[in-house]
Amino acid sequence: MEVKIANSEPLLIIPLGGVEEIGLNMTVIQYSTDLIIIDAGLMFPEENMLGVDLVIPDFSYILQNREKIKGIILTHGHEDHTGALPFLLKELNQTNPLQEFNGTNPANSNVSVYGTPLTLALIKEKLKEHNLFDVRLMPVRPRESITLGAFNVEFIRVTHSIVDGVGLGISTPFGNIIHTGDFKLDPTPVDGELMDFHKFTEYGEKGVLLMLSDSTNAEKGGFTFSEKEVYRAFEDIFFKTTGRIIITTFASNIHRIQQAIDVAVQHKRKIVMCGKSMVSNAQIALDLGYLKIPKDTWIQIEHLKNIPDSEVVIITTGSQGEPMSVLSRIATGEHKHINIKDGDTVIVSAKAIPGNERSIGKIVNHLMKRGANVIYEKVSEIHVSGHASKEELKLMINLIKPKYFMPVHGEYRHLKCHARLAEKSGVFPNNIFIMENGTVLEITETGAVINGKIISGRVFIDGKGVAGVEDAVIRDRRRLAHDGIVIVFVGIERASKKIVSGPEIISRGFVFEDASHDIINEVKELMASTLMSCEDDIISNVSFVQAKLRSTLKKYLRNKMDRKPMILPIVIEV
């Protein structure tokens, strides 16, 4: 493979998220003073991330190099590739990276965001929620190219579980880079838009310096089933069902929604859409021509009571067991318009995101207790993956024939399996790089090497603010959840330094009230004796008193009960 002649500046590829984890997909490619960002994804919190709404990548490196940014490129509309974009744009908008965003300023108009029409339409709705209205959204279509500084980026159609997904062909001063995005080789896509094998092959013939490839299903043998297999499963269920049918799936899976609609129309059923994101995404896809619904088929939920059960299909959110989702409220009998009854069939047409299995299981149990027949992935083929399996991954490597290979989008075991596939497909082992977030792959005229690591990591988001939740806050929440809190109130007279009130003890989540009387009395006596033993110079300093009470009580509870509740002494001077 011929490599273009370049100067002494290296080409840098830096994953900021999406390696050694599922979600948070984000990669920086940099040459000299030119930097492009591929995707800006989030992940949903794990069970031990108490009170956290979202997790996003650490943008520190990007903010330090903001003047070099030539553009942000989105491969498709899934939130694990786009969900962090509003937070990134807010931070780029700040003149001082440490200054807190006030929620009113427009985003940095110098940074353009590129993506296909559906991808940008979906992200536009998210930006509105964050009061970002002046973002430069630049629509592109497959086989179109853009020039961003030293890079020329061509968009290549791929098939995935969302419409309008693309891979990227990136021309750099050192050679071509292929970024596959999320993909699978679907020979019968729902919209008839086949993956652009010809363009990928063309790049393989020209020569590819580096390939970054989706590793999500690298452990799975064979080929991933076509999305149309779900249609056959839907058909079988519809033929056997005379009552209402409720289908829950990802709101972004327009192909899945289209198939549900097609089968419903075939069986002369009306469609009801439920859930804010489901209704919004369906309307966006309908307006752009990606979703086709016959006239008078989509009805409002208020009209549901006027339609016989045998003529209704409800398509809703909640496939991951989210507590406030439509399906969750239906399952617990809290939905305003829909109550489960005998004869209802619920189809959970989605795979559980790791960590959500218990939540989904609880929803299924609630639905079954209320009389519904629940069909989910473990008992029926009502879901297929949007990611390539082993044979497809090997085929892509053989088509592209890269000199260097970097597996992305997966946990370490996925990356390792993908690396083995690349080696079997002819990539030299020393040319395969399994990265960590923040590690820097440096390519020069003499070769490629991992060279150093930049600041990276996760930022916990509570609400919509840019400022993340610190690790210490998460630790406090875990302590509160596990051992509860003990509050000590004490009043001290400022002039005489005498105790005039308390100590009073309040506990929550520590011990049952009925069992706590003796313990609370012991703690009161301990705190009183501790205060009495304090010398005047300690009593005169509120912070010293608080520290003394906290230290004494912490030691006492640890020795007596082997418990470590959060201890909050409150000392008031009067």
* Same domain flag for 141 and 156: yes
Q: Are residues 289 and 269 in the same domain?
A: yes
41 and 58 part of one domain: yes
Residue whose structure tokens are 């750099």:
172
Give residue 535's pLDDT: 63
Within 10 angstroms of residue 444's Cβ, the number of other Cβ atoms is 15
242 CA to centre of own chain: 37
What are the residues whose beta carbons fall under 8 Å from the beta carbon of 193, sequence distance 6 or more? 157, 159
Kindly state whether residue 478 falls inside one of the protein's structural domains: no
β-pairing, 136-139 vs 112-115, is parallel
Two structure tokens written together for 539: 């009593």
Same domain, 97 and 196: yes
**Number of domains observed in the structure of the chain:** 3
Domain boundary among 375, 404, 420: 375
CATH code assigned at 490: 3.10.20.580
Residues 136 and 251 in one domain: no
Q: What is the pLDDT of residue 480?
A: 58
Q: Which of 404, 427, 461 is the last residue of a domain?
A: 461
Q: Are residues 439 and 532 in the same domain?
A: no
The answer to whether residues 250 and 284 belong to one domain is yes
CATH number, position 278: 3.40.50.10710
Give yes or no for a contact between 177 and 212, defined as CB atoms under 8 angstroms apart: yes
pLDDT score, position 463: 57
User: The domain spanning residue 163 has which CATH number?
Assistant: 3.60.15.10
Active site residue 387: yes
Q: Say whether both 433 and 354 belong to one domain.
A: no
Residues 361 and 501 in one domain: no
Look at residue 107 and tell me if it is in a domain: yes
Q: Are 568 and 488 in contact (CB under 8 A)?
A: yes
| Domain contains 5 | no
Catalytic entry in 39, 58, 196, 214: 214
- Is the domain of 314 the same as that of 236? yes
Q: Is 173 part of any domain?
A: yes
Q: What is the pLDDT of residue 479?
A: 57
288 belongs to a structural domain: yes
DSSP per residue, 291-325: S---TTTEE-GGGGGGS-GGGEEEEES-TT--TTS
pLDDT in tens, the chain (574 residues): 344 444 579 999 999 999 999 899 999 999 999 999 999 999 877 655 555 678 899 999 999 999 999 999 999 999 999 999 999 999 998 644 344 444 444 444 479 999 999 999 999 999 998 999 889 999 999 999 999 999 999 999 999 999 999 999 999 999 999 999 999 999 999 999 999 999 999 999 999 999 999 999 999 999 999 998 999 999 999 999 999 999 999 999 999 999 999 999 999 999 999 999 999 999 999 999 999 999 999 999 999 989 999 999 999 999 888 877 899 999 988 898 999 999 999 999 998 876 678 888 889 999 999 999 999 876 567 889 999 999 999 999 999 999 999 999 999 999 999 999 999 999 999 999 999 999 999 999 999 999 999 999 888 886 555 545 445 555 555 555 566 777 887 777 666 666 677 777 776 666 544 456 667 777 777 877 777 776 655 566 666 777 777 778 778 777 777 777 777 777 777 6
Residues spanned by the domain of 419: 11-222+385-461
DSSP state at residue 410: B
Strands 402-408 and 373-375: unpaired
Residue 214 annotated in active site: yes
* Residue in 76, 81, 366, 387 annotated catalytic: 387
Same domain, yes or no, for 203 and 257? no
127: Cβ contacts below 8 Å, ≥ 6 apart: 85, 86, 89, 107, 133, 135
Pair 62, 147 in one domain: yes
* 468 in a structural domain: no
DSSP secondary structure, 471-524, as one string = HHHHHHHHHHHHH-EEEEEEEE-TTT--EEEEEEEEEESSS-HHHHHHHHHHHH
C-alpha pair distances (Å), 44 with each of 105, 260, 438, 501: 27, 27, 20, 46
Task: Transcribe 450-475 into DSSP letters.
Answer: EEEE-S--EEEESSS-SSPBPHHHHH
Residue 319 is assigned to a structural domain of this protein:
yes
471 domain residue, yes or no:
no
